[in-house]
Amino acid sequence: MKKSALQTARAAYRPKLPVVLTGAVKAVEGEPTQSVADQEAIRQLFPNTYGLPELRFEKNPSPTPGKPINVGVILSGGQAPGGHNVISGLFDGIKKINKNSRLYGFLMGPGGLVDHNYMELTPEIIDEYRNTGGFDIIGSGRTKLETKEQFDKGLEILKELDIKALVIIGGDDSNTNAAVLAEYYKNIGAGVQVIGCPKTIDGDLKNEVIETSFGFDTATKVYSEVIGNIQRDCNSAKKYWHFIKLMGRSASHIALECALQTQPNICIISEEVEAKNMTLQEVVNDIADVVAARAARGDNYGVVLVPEGLIEFIPAVKSLIAQLNDLLAANADEFAALATPAEQRAWVIAKLTPENAATYESLPEGVARQLTLDRDPHGNVQVSLIETEKLLSEMVGKRLAELRKEGKYNGKFSAQHHFFGYEGRCADPSNFDADYCYALGYNAACLIEAGVTGYMSSLRNLTKPSVQWVAGGIPVTMMMNMERRHGEMKPVIQKALVKLDGAPFLKFASKRDKWALETCYTYPGPIQYFGPAEVCDQPSKTLMYEHPEKKF
């Protein structure tokens, strides 16, 4: 593999471990824990792994020599910057325990465990991937580990390779499944520990005890770099409104963090739209009002950040989609028999409730039509195919035409569209993510040595320099509650949405009126690896506002 100059230089970076992890450690137990809700139900589902204590590592003044251990590792779900560092930290950690320890990577996600596709990760392979982005070292995949058959099939290969511990690097679902697997292996006495690591650029795997998931820091910095560049262009040419959609189907943490980094004119937060029970038209009208207010100042340009999941947070659209799914599933043949788009449209409108019909009619025709045509294999409307950024700008254009007729708008409106997602998921990790991920992996090795299972690797005090981070383990059951999924109540890790009373949102809310009208763009620029600490080592603003007492 031919490397770029930066790849070569960056390979030499040595992540800065928390001081406590630089020597031998012992696990100190806290009080027994409870799940965040539904304690009795969760306890019954996890009889062997419920109620475990939080663990905190401290220096061990009288360590005993460790025995070699074989460990397996899995990358699960979407890519996030730093995954390779979790693996290299884990590798170094188990080698520190005993130099004859071995690390096996299961290939292309959890499916590799079930299908027995794996490779041993040698020092040469590990060194090739230190401090790099991507999950290409062993690949990732979206197979869900959920069934007894999968667990048993996986156990075959774990036994064959004498693997005593499995580290699953994934988001909330993958860590939920890791906990179920841990409980199952514990219950049958399989002799395999399962440890999770919190991964997702979406930032929605966090709680009282997990300060952030890895990858969020780097991905939002890449998005903020290009948003900043677009803002500078916008402020130079002064002739376009840029609608920028940002990846993330559920929570709006990415959009919020990017807004705090770049100070755009508008940033929509899905959670707020839902809480205020706003219609799509109301969201559009709010944008149009800002466009008109800026036009009145002579500024016919601006930047709007749009979270990818917006559409699904709008109660009226959610209701429309639910009815469309039922309607089209129940009457597929009748619908298919209609000859023209116009007849199909009329048919749909006639069958919908008046509220849903009004929502349907408020959508641009192309989008409305797409909702009835492109459905997934389960027959569901494919909301992800809707180009929300174009939908919004088209509707804003129409609204502005109305405002113009009313004499309330006298400007020019020309839109550009962008969608950023794949641009950030595999970036080289920032120093924060490089350190955090390496420490998560190294710490996972310590949890393995401590002999525990059903824990998530945990580092806290993340707004302090990495050498001061607190290391330990959190029982995954502690983060769970019961939720309805596909019609069944399931134990799941609570997803963290943007809290409207949380510090990051309140900070944004206190500034946005000024940012809307005036032009207050900031330009974060590209991630830097070699410069001054205030440029290279800043954690995300979300993290800093959420943990101000530990301000960097």
- CA dist., res. 119 & res. 104, Å (int): 6
Say if strands 415-420 and 470-475 run parallel, antiparallel, or are unpaired: unpaired
User: Is 38 a residue that touches a copy of itself (CB under 8 A)?
Assistant: no
Binding a copy of itself (rule: CB under 8 A), the pick from 15, 196, 228, 441 is 228
The residue type of 534 is E
- CA dist., res. 327 & res. 1, Å (int): 53
Chain residues 253-312 in contact with a copy of itself, contact rule CB under 8 A? 261, 263
209 secondary structure, DSSP code = S
Estimate to the nearest angstrom the gap between the alpha carbon of 382 and the chain centroid: 20
Binding a copy of itself (rule: CB under 8 A), the pick from 237, 336, 339, 350 is 237
C-beta closer to a copy of itself: residue 109 or 307: 109
Q: How far is the CB of 531 from a copy of itself (least distance, A)?
A: 3
Stretch that binds a copy of itself, among 54-62, 152-160, 171-179, 527-535 (CB under 8 A): 527-535
Q: How far is the CB of 527 from a copy of itself (least distance, A)?
A: 5
C-beta closer to a copy of itself: residue 132 or 443: 132
Q: How far is the CB of 234 from a copy of itself (least distance, A)?
A: 8
Q: Within 13 Å and on the Cβ side, how many CA atoms surround 294? A: 29
Residue 298 contacts by C-beta under 8 Å, 6 or more apart in sequence? none
For residues 129 and 137, the answer to whether their CB atoms sit within 8 Å is: yes
Chain residues 63-92 in contact with a copy of itself, contact rule CB under 8 A? 78-79
For residues 62 and 48, the answer to whether their CB atoms sit within 8 Å is: no
The residue type of 392 is L
Binding a copy of itself (rule: CB under 8 A), the pick from 120, 343, 422, 451 is 422
Alpha-carbon separation of residue 480 from 120, 156, 167, 174, 344 (angstroms): 33, 29, 19, 13, 44
C-beta closer to a copy of itself: residue 5 or 350: 5
Structure tokens at 383: 């909301």
How many helices (DSSP H) and strands (DSSP E) are in the chain? 23, 15
Active site residue 433: no
Binding a copy of itself (rule: CB under 8 A), the pick from 94, 169, 197, 226 is 226
Chain residues 115-134 in contact with a copy of itself, contact rule CB under 8 A? 132-134
Q: How far is the CB of 342 from a copy of itself (least distance, A)?
A: 12
For residues 313 and 273, the answer to whether their CB atoms sit within 8 Å is: yes
Q: How far is the CB of 67 from a copy of itself (least distance, A)?
A: 33
Binding a copy of itself (rule: CB under 8 A), the pick from 128, 282, 289, 423 is 423
Binding a copy of itself (rule: CB under 8 A), the pick from 222, 280, 305, 317 is 222
The residue type of 219 is A
147 secondary structure, DSSP code = S
User: Is 535 a residue that touches a copy of itself (CB under 8 A)?
Assistant: yes
Q: What is the DSSP string of 116-142?
A: T-EEE--HHHHHHHTT--SSTTT--B-
Site map for a copy of itself, 132-171, x if CB under 8 A? xxxxx--xx-------------------------------
Catalytic residue among 172, 202, 435, 537: 202
C-beta closer to a copy of itself: residue 313 or 529: 529
Tell me how crowded residue 36 is: count the other CB atoms within 10 A of its CB.
Answer: 17
Query: Where does this chain bind a copy of itself (CB under 8 A)?
Result: 1-7, 9-10, 78-79, 108, 132-136, 139-140, 222, 225-226, 228-230, 232-238, 242, 261, 263, 416, 418, 422-428, 520, 522-532, 534-535, 538
Which active-site residues does the annotation give? 202
